[in-house]
């Protein structure tokens, strides 16, 4: 086995601000054989460190690495199918000893970032369950999945049903970045609290505060959700989760609101967010959720991101179970005789784009992939960049 003699960990001069270790670097003609590891190890100060310190270094490297897959739209580049940044896993190829020390570690530390549920299923369904079970951190763009079946009504599947197809997942943290309108966001999160499994901690992020301020009239347009009336949060979600996991389970739901406007990532910083609770008086409960909360749906207040943090108790079994509803919403029950790989008539949900005309097939609610966009590499400064 041969590896390129590349210096992955020397930052370039000139003050250029990009993740230099995620960029393609010119290679030399010199190659190093894995059979020469002994000489490399003897001269390496890194490998002369105690194993405990090296393990901490490996963890720091992989904790700051994300592997991105799927199609992303940006005003600058349009639509692109993203691949992981070059050399994201270069540490595994430095030498045989480092490979041995890191090959069972990296999957538990890196962030698997999927731009849509279809891509997540395409990637993970092909892996052995023993491999999928080692993944601990996943981030998913929160669009539901639409499926068109000849002779049937169009079907929409939300996250708690999608994850039924990945029963081996035992995530430490699942991050969902919601992109749907307020009422479907609220409905999707409520279903995850009521039925979601496969994760120990859920971070549900919305671009605005509207999810906790809309009135029933604002949920029109979604055939699945219909009219949804909000409940005081997070206490209603807490009640549901504790009823599901048990009083002494330690499960909890917290809501945080960004201090800054128009900055989704800031809500992940404990210093740039504040706790948020809705605590109406007893006499106000009958009318709660019937009208807009204008502080959350209008002006600057609407532009502050929300983070809903759902934690399951340490002893709670988070393995996949029957979601408790009919086949029309349960992907596993409806397609239990087919593997995911043959389900290729899937289109992804997209919100209407003010810079584009309506889609050829509708008003922006569902858009088929008519042509394959070009490939691009994920470029990020921090794994939590949105």
Mean residue pLDDT of the chain comes to 77
Q: Residue 344 pLDDT > 80, yes or no?
A: no
For residue 272, give the nearest of 263, 281, 280, 283 by alpha carbon: 263
pLDDT of amino acid 165: 84
Nearest 5 degrees, angle CA 155-CA 161-CA 166? 125
Looking at the chain, the whole-number percentage of residues with pLDDT higher than 90 is: 43
338 falls in which pLDDT band (50, 70, 90)?
Answer: low
Range with lowest mean pLDDT among 41-55, 165-179, 186-200, 351-365: 351-365
d(CA 311, CA 200): 6
Whether 113 is covered by a domain: the verdict is yes
Number of structural domains in the chain: 1
Q: Which domain holds residue 279?
A: 104-349
d(CA 253, CA 234): 6
322 falls in which pLDDT band (50, 70, 90)?
Answer: low
pLDDT of amino acid 358: 39
> From start to end of the chain, where are the E strands?
2-4, 31-33, 66-74, 78-83, 111-114, 137-141, 145-147, 155-157, 173-177, 201-206, 252-258, 273-275, 306-311, 346-349, 366-367, 375-377
Q: Residue 101 pLDDT > 90, yes or no?
A: yes
d(CA 145, CA 366): 9
pLDDT of amino acid 323: 53
d(CA 54, CA 56): 5
E strand or H helix at 43: helix 37-43
Q: Residue 351 pLDDT > 70, yes or no?
A: no
d(CA 197, CA 214): 27
Q: Residue 362 pLDDT > 70, yes or no?
A: no
Whether 1 is covered by a domain: the verdict is no
pLDDT of amino acid 321: 73
Whether 384 is covered by a domain: the verdict is no
Whether 121 is covered by a domain: the verdict is yes
CA distances from 321 to 237, 292, 310, 382 (A): 20, 36, 18, 34
pLDDT of amino acid 97: 93
C-alpha torsion sign, points 170, 115, 118, 221: positive
The HSE-up count of residue 5 (CA atoms within 13 Å, CB side) is: 9
pLDDT of amino acid 128: 92
pTM of the model: 0.77
- The SS3 of residue 82 is strand
380 falls in which pLDDT band (50, 70, 90)?
Answer: confident
Whether 222 is covered by a domain: the verdict is yes
Q: Which tokens is 66 given?
A: 């994300």
Assess contact for 85 and 19: CB atoms under 8 A.
Answer: yes
In the block, tokens 């279809």 appear at 118
Mark 340-361 as b/e (b = at least 16 C-beta within 10 Å). Answer: beebeebbbbbeeeeeeeebee
17 torsion bin: left (phi>0), alpha (psi -120 to 50), beta (else)? beta
Structure letter (DSSP) for residue 47: T
- The SS3 of residue 13 is coil
Q: Which residues pair with 71 in a beta bridge?
A: 81
Q: What is the average per-residue pLDDT within 353-366?
A: 39
Whether 172 is covered by a domain: the verdict is yes
CA torsion angle for 66, 70, 71, 75 (degrees, to 10)?
0
For residue 98, give the nearest of 157, 154, 147, 34 by alpha carbon: 34
Q: Residue 106 pLDDT > 80, yes or no?
A: yes
For residue 315, give the nearest of 247, 237, 255 by alpha carbon: 247
Looking at the chain, the whole-number percentage of residues with pLDDT higher than 70 is: 69
Q: Residue 61 pLDDT > 60, yes or no?
A: yes
336 falls in which pLDDT band (50, 70, 90)?
Answer: low
Q: What is the average per-residue pLDDT within 161-173?
A: 89
Whether 380 is covered by a domain: the verdict is no
Whether 248 is covered by a domain: the verdict is yes
Side by side, which strands form the sheet with 145-147? 155-157, 145-147, 346-349, 366-367
Q: What is the pLDDT of residues 256-299, one digit of tens each?
A: 999 999 999 899 999 999 999 999 988 888 889 888 899 999 99
d(CA 345, CA 193): 29
């Amino acid at each position: 086995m041969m590896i390129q003699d590349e210096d992955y960990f020397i930052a370039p001069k000139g003050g250029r601000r990009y993740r230099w270790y995620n960029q393609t670097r010119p290679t030399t003609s010199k190659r190093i054989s894995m059979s020469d590891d002994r000489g490399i190890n003897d001269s390496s100060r890194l490998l002369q460190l105690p194993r405990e310190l090296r393990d901490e270094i490996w963890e720091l490297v992989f904790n700051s690495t994300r592997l991105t897959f799927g199609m992303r739209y940006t005003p600058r580049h349009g639509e692109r199918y993203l691949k992981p940044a070059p050399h994201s896993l270069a540490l595994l190829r430095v030498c045989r000893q480092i490979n041995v020390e890191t090959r069972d570690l990296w999957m538990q530390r890196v962030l698997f970032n999927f731009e849509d549920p279809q891509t997540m299923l395409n990637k993970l369904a092909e892996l052995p369950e023993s491999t999928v079970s080692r993944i601990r951190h996943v981030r998913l763009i929160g669009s539901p999945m639409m499926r068109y079946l000849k002779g049937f009504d169009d079907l929409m599947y939300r996250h708690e049903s999608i994850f039924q197809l990945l029963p081996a997942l035992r995530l430490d943290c699942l991050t969902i970045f919601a992109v749907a309108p307020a009422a479907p966001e609220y409905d999707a999160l409520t279903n995850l609290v009521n039925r979601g499994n496969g994760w120990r901690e859920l971070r549900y992020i919305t671009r605005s505060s509207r999810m906790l301020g809309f009135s029933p009239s604002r949920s029109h347009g979604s055939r699945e959700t219909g009219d949804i009336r909000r409940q005081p949060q997070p206490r209603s979600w807490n009640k549901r989760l504790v009823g599901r996991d048990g009083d002494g389970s330690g499960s909890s739901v917290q809501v945080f609101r960004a201090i800054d406007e128009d900055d989704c990532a800031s809500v992940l910083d404990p210093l740039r967010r504040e706790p948020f609770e809705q605590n109406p008086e007893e006499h106000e409960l009958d009318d709660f959720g019937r009208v807009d909360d204008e502080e959350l749906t209008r002006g600057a207040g609407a532009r502050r991101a929300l983070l809903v943090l759902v934690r399951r108790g340490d002893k709670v079994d988070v393995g996949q179970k029957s979601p408790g509803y009919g086949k029309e919403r349960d992907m596993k029950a409806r397609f239990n005789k087919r593997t995911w790989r043959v389900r290729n008539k899937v289109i992804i949900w997209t919100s209407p784009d003010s810079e584009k005309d309506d889609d050829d097939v509708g008003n922006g609610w569902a858009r088929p992939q008519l042509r394959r966009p070009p490939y691009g590499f994920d470029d990020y400064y921090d794994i939590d960049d949105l």
